[in-house]
Amino acid sequence: MPRVEAEEARGARARELHARGLEALNRGRPLLGARSLRAGLRLLGWPGATGSWQAHRELTFRLLGTLAAAEVARGNSDRGFGLLDSMDTLITDDNRGVLLLQRGLLLTMIGRVDDAVRSFDAAVPLLERADERVALARTLLNRAFIHQIAGEVRPALADLARSEEISRELGMSVQLAKSFHGRGSCLLLAGDIPGALRAFDQAEEGYAADADGMLVVLAVEKARAMLAAGLGADAAGVLDAAMPRFAGLGMNQEHAEAELTRAQIALSVGDHETARRWAVQAERRFRRRRNETWAAVAALTGLRAEFAAGQSRGHRPVKVATTAAVLAGRLRELGLDNDAEAAELLAAGAHLGRGEVDQAAAHVRDRPGRRSTLDTRLQRQVVRARLAAARDDHAATFRHARTGLARLAAHRGLFGSIDLQTGVATLGAELARAGLDAALAEGRPATVFRWLEHSRAQAFRSRAVHPLDDPVTADALAELRQRSRVARASELEGHRDTAAARRCAELERQIRAHSWRTSGTGEHHAQASLAEVRAELRAAGAALVSYFTVGTRIHAFLVAGRTARIVELGDLPTTTETSTRLRGDMDVLSGRALPAPLDTAVRTSARRQLAVLTDHLVAPLRPHLGDEDLVVVPTGPLSGVPWGLIPDLRGRPVTVSPSATVWLSGRRAPRPTAAGTLLVAGPNLDYAADEVEQLAAIYPDSETLSGADATVESTMKALDGCGVAHFAAHGHHEQDSVLFSRLDLADGPLMAYDIHQLGAAPNHVILASCDVGRVVVRAGDEILGFTAALLYSGTRTVVSSVARMDDHAAVGVMTAYHRGLSRGLPPARALADAAVIEPLTPLVCFGSG
């Protein structure tokens, strides 16, 4: 082969190796990429004096630059910058911008963000002049990342928009996916979690096709979005699944960021020791890479975990305040103003924990930083509220807590998903507690009531939004129903189909994640005042008991007649344990017939638990209740109490509502004038058909669905906007996947998720069997479950069971209940009368009664 042809072949092979190495790097595989890039340089004889590289200077320049990035990505910073320095001998006017891009990229990777942005700023005009559009798109993408780190969302989005435009024009699919990824990160920083998740989904499509190594990096971002929405357990699941993949990809920076995010997730769910361990691990990995910027952020997370752990053990922090103040200065030097402010607030909180009010105040600036995130702004209001409380300045405490909660309400309005709306309540729990503590100290009933309402079920005040409808989710729902039928059939045969169960869990995660992408309207309903609630209570002939806790003690805010008072009740741990035991007894009694001695023992145990609940929840209220109906607003574990079984309340109409505001809204809502009655009998329930047949005699014009006719589609169609809907069907409360709590129908489950798809909520729903009245209670007394889904959608009243219920007993109780309704009795009164038939009926009237 002639010399010239050999040289051309060598150059072509080196270009192929560069392309392969660059592709591997873009796909998140720097170790693999470095091998191809070194092979290309060896082929060109670099750095020998007589190598072929002198005939391929431009190609050699690009091989070195890409290899430098690969080395830094692997944690070899010195080697990477050494390669970059060697490129100076190859520089020309045309590729000077590319060299500045490479330097900026490497500086970004080791956390020298100020130096990096200067390098990118210098590169952009040079690349534009040289018409280096590929390099320009990369530069804009990386400069956007720097802006994002600094909290500068607008310039970041502007750079991303230009990078996206160039990438589309040139068909750069991976670069385009990275632009979507960057946009999602910016939207997350701005608090638009639904928008961020939609952008991440776009990025995922591109990565899956052309850069699967980047999927693990994207998983970290998705976990951060879940964390920002208060879904710590979900975020941990996503990250724990992704974490093992980092080791084989050689992505040390991204690996360290994932460890830091895992620490932040553990901190959010109260696992302080795990948070500290992950933070220390991340900090060490950052320092090995000489990335002092990220190392400082990891150190802050570790310090927050140390402080929280001390608080949970009742220890007064000694060194945290000093360490946090020093760290704040370091973070500000590094240009991380938001993190610096968070460190200053941590120092203030530590001083407050030691009673050092003046020292704490010195760390709280008059105004939040321009780049402060929502989390930092809310924490600032918490600290300012605590400072005011320490000075007995109740007015200022209320003002700061109210300001933070208003900001959180606006943030919640961005979400259309109930899952996210209830999740973010975690961010406001401390603010609501600060306001409530100040109100209790002040002692004015109207103020205490206002802060009780601020502290619970705020998601009910957001206007309902239907989840996004698309073919992918529709297919996933259809498959989930089919797989659920298979899994249920296996259960009934006495064994578990693990493959079907695993696939169901996977589909549930997919459907749930899709719902998070739905944006909210920003609209919300007004909170009820004590005067409004008192007037409606008088009209209804009812008293209100709103339960809350102070430490481990239960208290009640009681409104009866013209009087409002606070009554101290029992012990929360004892009540919680008793409620759990009672539910266990009820579950045992609802199964197959027990031998007489065992049946007697279980019933005796149930009566004993009910006596304890009476003593802790009701007995101190006796002198104030009279014979009025009762509206109960529970807190935390009290949401699972079967109130009608408590001896002091038997025969008394009791309505349970998430908040007084929800109860009042339901009372004031227009009642349907011409809505019909729907009766549904599900499969595999012995008495379902008999129950529905007896009820059809009470409602001659009702629509009845049973047997093969009781499908999900036909039920949803009939349920939409109906007046009364009665379900005699097996139900399942899913504690770990609550949006998929369900009722069994002929062709699969009707799920809580489906309820949110209704165009108009049914007015009154009765769920006559199983335990679908149970709920999962999140921070801020936000509830999720099948019953909760109906209430969120606008159903005024739901009658359902908080424990398993004997199917045969349900028939008699339900027949009596509907006869009462047909005579015009309110639901709570009809249930109280009907429950007399069966002494242990765990049915509860939820909503507005």
pLDDT tens profile 333-373? 988 889 999 999 999 999 998 899 999 999 998 777 777 88
List the structure tokens of 407: 């900001």
User: pTM for the full model?
Assistant: 0.81
> If we measure between CA atoms, which residue out of 602, 604, 603, 634 comes closest to residue 618?
634
pLDDT of residue 468: 60
Q: Please give the C-alpha separations between residue 50 and each of 7, 11, 54, 88, in angstroms, as whole numbers.
A: 13, 15, 8, 18
Sheet architecture: strand order including 764-767 = 563-571, 553-560, 542-550, 629-633, 654-656, 843-847, 797-801, 764-767, 724-728, 677-681, 703-705
In the DSSP assignment, the letter for residue 110 is T
pLDDT at position 467 is 64
CB-based contact 615:806 (threshold 8 Å):
no
Q: Which helix (H) or strand (E) holds 824?
A: none
Contact 105, 26 (CB under 8 A): no
Q: Which residues contact 677 (CB under 8 A, 6 or more apart)?
A: 699, 701, 702, 703, 722, 723, 724, 725, 726
Q: Which of 315-319, 402-406, 455-459, 464-468 is the most confident on average?
A: 402-406
Confidence bin at 392 (pLDDT 50/70/90): very high
Residue 504 has pLDDT above 60, yes or no: yes
pLDDT tens figures, 355-364:
999 999 999 9
Tell me the backbone φ, ψ of residue 771, rounded to 5 degrees.
-125, 40
* Segment 551-565, tens digit of pLDDT: 999 999 999 988 999
Which pLDDT value is given to residue 458?
83
The 3-state DSSP class for residue 73 equals helix
Confidence of residue 526 (pLDDT cuts 50, 70, 90): confident
Q: Which of 120-134, 271-285, 496-510 has the lowest mean pLDDT?
A: 496-510
Joined together, the tokens standing for residue 812 give 């008699």
Q: What is the pLDDT of residues 40-80, one digit of tens each?
A: 888 888 876 666 776 787 788 888 888 988 888 888 888 88
Greater model confidence, 26 or 206: 206
H-type helices in 44-112, by residue range? 57-73, 77-86, 96-109
What average pLDDT does range 522-530 have in this prediction?
85
Q: What CA–CA distances, in Å, run from 335 to 76, 294, 392, 622?
A: 24, 11, 36, 61
231 φ/ψ angles, rounded to the nearest 5 degrees: -100, 65
| Collapsed DSSP state (helix, strand, coil) of residue 545 | strand
Handedness of CA 118, 124, 125, 126 (dihedral sign): positive
In terms of C-beta distances under 8 Å and separation of at least 24 residues, what long-range contacts does 141-144 make, across chains too?
141/175, 141/178, 141/179, 141/182, 142/101, 142/104, 142/105, 142/108, 142/116, 143/104, 143/117, 144/182, 144/186
pLDDT attached to residue 267 = 93
Highest mean pLDDT among 22-26, 117-121, 487-491: 117-121
For 633-645, the pLDDT digits (tens) are: 999 999 999 999 9
Q: Which of 40-54, 384-398, 606-620 has the lowest mean pLDDT?
A: 40-54
Query: In CATH, which of 3.30.470.30, 3.40.50.1460, 3.40.50.1240, 1.10.560.10 is domain 666-847?
Result: 3.40.50.1460
pLDDT of residue 3: 64
Q: What is the pLDDT of residue 466?
A: 66
Q: Where are the domains of the chain?
A: 471-515, 530-632, 666-847
pLDDT at 674 over 70: no
**Strand, helix or coil at 725?**
strand
Return the pLDDT at 314.
64
Burial class of 495 by CB neighbour count within 10 A (0 to 12, 13 to 18, 19+) = exposed
Structure tokens at 359: 């020292």
Secondary structure (3-state) at 393: coil
Listing DSSP states for 643-703 in one string gives GGGSGGGTTS-EEE-S-HHHHHHHHHSPPPSS--EEEEE-TT-TTHHHHHHHHHHH-TT-E
pLDDT at position 469: 65
Interacting residues of 803 by C-beta distance below 8 A, sequence separation 6+: 582, 583, 586, 587, 590, 642, 771, 774, 842
What mean pLDDT comes out for the span 620-642? 94
Which is nearest to 689 in space by CA: 704, 703, 706? 706
- C-alpha span between 259 and 301 (Å, rounded): 11
AA letter at 269: V
pLDDT tens digit sequence for 213-266: 889 999 999 999 888 888 888 899 999 999 998 877 778 888 999 999 999 999
How many Å apart are CA 765 and CA 725, to the nearest integer?
Answer: 5
pLDDT at 2 exceeding the cut of 70: no
With a cut of 60, say whether residue 1 has pLDDT above it: no
Dist CA 636 CA 613 (whole Å): 15
Name the band, by pLDDT with cuts 50, 70 and 90, for residue 9: confident
Q: What is the DSSP letter of 463?
A: P
pLDDT digits (tens, 9 = 90+) for 73-106: 888 888 888 888 887 777 777 778 888 888 898 8
Q: Which residues pair with 571 in a beta bridge?
A: 553
- The most confident of 517-531, 583-597, 610-624, by mean pLDDT: 610-624
Of 180-184, 481-485, 568-572, 718-722, the one with minimum mean pLDDT is 481-485
Lowest mean pLDDT of 370-379, 516-525, 541-550, 597-606, name the range: 516-525
Helix (H, G, I), strand (E, B) or coil at 229: coil
